[in-house]
Amino acid sequence: MIGRTYLERGRPVVVLIRWGPGSGPRNVLIQRANGDLVVRPFRGLRRPKENTTDED
Q: For residue 52, what pLDDT is reported?
A: 56
Average of per-residue pLDDT across 39-50? 92
Distance spanning both ends of the chain, measured CA to CA: 32
Residue 21 lies in a domain: yes
Question: How would residue 55 be classed by pLDDT, with cut points 50, 70 and 90?
Answer: low
User: Residue 28 domain-assigned?
Assistant: yes
Residue 26 lies in a domain: yes
Range of the domain at 23: 5-41
Judged by average pLDDT, the poorest of 2-11, 22-31, 39-48 is: 22-31
Number of domains in the chain: 1
Residue 49 within any structural domain of the chain? no
> For the whole model, what pTM was predicted?
0.79
| pLDDT number for residue 17 | 94
